[in-house]
Amino acid sequence: MMDLIVDANILFAALIKNGITITLMVEPEIHLFAPEFLIEEVMKYRKEIEKKTKHSDEELNEIFESLKEKINFVPANEFQSFLKEAEKISPDEGDVPYIALALKLKIPLWTNDRDLKEKQTKVKVYSTKDILERGW
């Protein structure tokens, strides 16, 4: 069993392409968490996602709805006390909520953002490749 914080680039990859990312996301032994605002991020970039995918609008909605059921979305007020620490260690302000949630839950972050993996050491970060190498 593995618990992970999932970031936007992982969710976007799953929505765009029917590949290994979505396969891992629906793996029953992998439990996913994300800041609640990730739902808004998907809606904000919906048009870009639609342009990059071969899925119909209806298929994209179905995939997103099924992934939303798989991810435990955490409201910002539940990890707010970790935001200041996350701000200090995050290489990018857009990653602060993910780092704060990882600090609160004490679990790794799943992202393919190399800066996040290389420019901070407080939160364990796994790429999709790392997860595959761990036997998933």
CA distance 70 to 48: 23
Q: For the chain, list residues with pLDDT below 70.
A: none
The pLDDT, as a whole number, for residue 104 is 98
Kindly state the DSSP code that residue 82 receives in the 8-state scheme.
G
CA distance 81 to 77: 8
Q: Across the strands, what pairs with 97?
A: none
All domains of the chain in start order, with CATH: 2-133 (3.40.50.1010)
Task: Give pTM, 2 decimals.
Answer: 0.93
